[in-house]
Amino acid sequence: MEVIILVVHLMVAIALVISVLLQRSEGGGLGIGGGGGGGGGGFLTGRATANLLTRTTAVLAACFMATSITLAIMAGATRESRSVVGGGGAGATASGSTAGATGGAGATTPQVPVAPKSEE
């Protein structure tokens, strides 16, 4: 299922790039599509082409966002849920306690042995 959504995501991304590149820029110098302006015989007028491309871009952007969120949720579901802020993760606790107990490179304070109290 994840592979199908990833393929759809890539196709939507390519279509979105093409849709953006086909649009005319403000100055008219950057867009690659919509040329031929004044002459008749075109399939769509300049305004109709702009409206169609704008709507197409909006729909493709919405599809791109939806597939991005879906892929992120699916990727998060396959991992263990660990909270960095909560401190409940076993990985952080174990690495911190082992470095201090063994005197590894991560230890900040020297380990001083404590003698048992003798009763007198």
**pLDDT value of position 94:** 47
Task: Report the distance separating Cα 5 and Cα 115, nearest Å.
Answer: 63
Q: What is the model's pTM?
A: 0.53
What are the pLDDT digits (tens) for 60-104?
Answer: 999 999 999 999 999 887 776 666 676 555 554 444 445 445 555
Instruction: Read off the amino acid at residue 35.
Output: G
Query: Tens digit of pLDDT for each residue in 13-58?
Result: 999 999 999 887 666 555 555 555 554 556 667 677 778 888 999 9
pLDDT for residue 52: 85
Q: Supply the pLDDT for residue 76.
A: 84
pLDDT value, residue 86: 63
DSSP 3-state of 91: helix
Question: Contact, 31 vs 39, CB < 8 A?
Answer: no
| Contact yes or no for 55/61 (Cβ under 8 A) | no
Amino acid at 90: A
The pLDDT value given to residue 83: 61
> Which of 44, 40, 13, 46 is closest to 28 using CA atoms?
46
* Cβ contact 111:101 at 8 Å: yes
To the nearest 10 degrees (0 to 180), the angle between helices 2-22 and 46-78 is 150
